[in-house]
Amino acid sequence: MIDQVVAILENRKVNEKYFKLAFRSRELARGVLPGQFVNIQIQPSLDPFLRRPFSYYRITGDKIEILYEILGRGTALLASRVKGDTLKVMGPLGKPFTAALKCKKRVLVAGGVGVPPLIFLAEKNPVDYFLIGTKSKKEVMPKKELAKVKGRVFYSTNDGSYGKKGYVTALLEEILKKEKPENLYIQTCGPEIMMQAVLDIARRCDIEGEASLDKPMACGVGACLGCMVKTDQGWLPSCTHGPVFKFEKLVGQI
């Protein structure tokens, strides 16, 4: 784990939803796997006091890209930072997604802040179905950002302006009409309500998989206990025992 100051190379809007932040660090890029994250101090001062966690989106050599959306004051302040500004970044943190699947078809289900780590995963590993849910066409990722994905991408939009109308779970239900559940492996990340719906389907159909849980992570090292997740081993900090958890390890609601 490294904690260092980096200079912003790029921080710009890529569509109506996402901003892309880029910086260089050989240490923070070394050995990173999809699903891991960094904890960023947004400003040089202690306001805001708590760091914000962001999934790795893409690594090219020592260049690291983070894809994020404005969800509160911290991310709004991050969006105001410009090229040349510095950030203090700690990482790589957390446990990654499973890369090698045993004769299973990989199904990725993403929404919101869950899109970046799953694009990273899909660029590194073959994907049979990559399902992305958004509110409207304005939030659909630019095609160039998906150019290296190793599989087909399917969209759903709440308003029906692009892809299938409805929630992303409607796409998952369509897959289950033509695929045997035992042949599938689901990897999901996004809003909790979306992941809960995916988990409910997986439990109903006895499908294996894993979810990356986006919990509040102030420290990133398991000290503050702000990101606790209920598992079959009791309550565990998501930042160190996750953020990726196998479905069978999760107890009750996400």
Give the pLDDT confidence of 11-67 residue by residue, as tens digits.
999 998 899 999 999 999 999 999 999 999 998 887 888 889 999 999 999 999 999
Give the pLDDT confidence of 208-222 residue by residue, as tens digits.
999 999 888 888 888
Task: Report percent pLDDT > 70 for the chain.
Answer: 100
Q: What is the pLDDT of residue 47?
A: 80
Q: What is the pLDDT of residue 221?
A: 86
Enumerate the β-bridge partners of residue 23: 8, 64
User: Tell me, what DSSP letter sits at residue 142?
Assistant: P
Does 2-93 match 105-249 in CATH topology? no
> Domain-by-domain residue ranges, the chain?
2-93, 105-249
Pairing of the two strands 105-111 and 19-24: unpaired
pLDDT above 90: residue 254: no
CATH T-level assignment (fold) for domain 2-93:
Elongation Factor Tu (Ef-tu); domain 3 (2.40.30)
Specify whether the CB–CB gap between 185 and 108 falls below 8 A. Answer: no
Q: What is the CATH number of domain 105-249?
A: 3.40.50.80
Report the predicted TM-score, pTM, of the whole model to 2 decimal places.
0.94
pLDDT above 90: residue 172: yes
Q: What is the pLDDT of residue 145?
A: 94
Averaged over 193-221, what is the pLDDT?
A: 93
Averaged over 207-236, what is the pLDDT?
A: 90
Q: What is the mean pLDDT of the chain?
A: 94
pLDDT above 90: residue 198: yes
Alpha helices in the chain (DSSP H): 26-29, 73-79, 115-124, 168-176, 192-205, 238-241
Specify whether the CB–CB gap between 78 and 42 falls below 8 A. Answer: yes
Residues with Cβ within 8 Å of residue 248, at least 6 apart in sequence: 208, 232
pLDDT above 90: residue 1: no
Measured CA to CA, the distance from residue 244 to residue 239 in angstroms comes to 9
Q: What is the pLDDT of residue 112?
A: 87
